[in-house]
């Protein structure tokens, strides 16, 4: 399932933003309001002329912080689940493996971060397997064409020797290890 995330911060400041009553009370902590401050913030929001636009904007963005339109995170989470808005959540930054894997972000930065993570993870796993003596036996390369049934194997093709089977008479060990 791929989820698309709306932008966290509006690209353009909405027109209603300057009309909010919160602009008149910068001394209040609107982001982490608790106790009496939270009650004061909600009281100010209840009389605000742009309360609906503020609350809808925060719901559309999935805003994880603060009081918006009189709704704190828990309130927005409930409303979001009921009306199909994105659930307020803290997402990792773009360009991280966690953002790609856990949240399905398909932006080029997140894809690149995931590819780097996977390459490093595989390299570590291969190194650990080699240290324990596991892994594939050395590959062989065909020196001449070989027909096996209906299949023609051309010179230069790699063959992986299987345990308990003799090597093909036209196969020679590869001098350089295969790039894994």
Over 50: is that where the pLDDT of 179 sits? no
Over 50: is that where the pLDDT of 167 sits? yes
Over 80: is that where the pLDDT of 75 sits? yes
Average pLDDT for 59-69: 88
Over 60: is that where the pLDDT of 150 sits? yes
CA nearest neighbour of 157 among 143, 136, 177, 173: 143
- Report the range of poorest mean pLDDT among 109-113, 134-138, 176-180: 176-180
Average pLDDT for 123-152: 80
Q: 41: burial class by Cβ within 10 Å (0-12, 13-18, 19+)?
A: buried
Q: What is the pLDDT of residues 88-100, one digit of tens each?
A: 877 788 888 888 8
């Amino acid at each position: 399932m791929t989820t698309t995330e709306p932008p966290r911060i509006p690209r353009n400041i909405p027109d209603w933003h300057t009309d909010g009553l919160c602009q008149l009370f910068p001394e209040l902590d609107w982001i982490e309001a608790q106790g009496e401050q939270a009650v004061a913030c909600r009281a100010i929001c209840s009389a605000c002329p742009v309360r609906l636009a503020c609350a809808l904007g925060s719901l559309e963005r999935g805003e994880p912080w603060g009081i918006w339109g009189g709704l704190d995170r828990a309130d927005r989470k409930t409303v979001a689940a009921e009306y199909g808005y994105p659930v307020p959540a803290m997402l990792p930054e773009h360009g991280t493996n966690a953002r790609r894997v856990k949240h399905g972000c398909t932006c080029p930065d997140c894809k690149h971060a995931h590819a780097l993570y996977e390459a490093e993870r595989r390299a570590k796993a291969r190194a650990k397997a080699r240290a324990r003596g596991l892994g594939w036996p050395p590959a062989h390369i065909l020196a001449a064409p070989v027909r096996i049934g209906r299949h023609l194997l051309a010179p230069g093709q790699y063959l992986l020797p299987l345990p308990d089977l003799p090597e093909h008479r036209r196969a020679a060990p590869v001098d350089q290890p295969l790039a894994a």
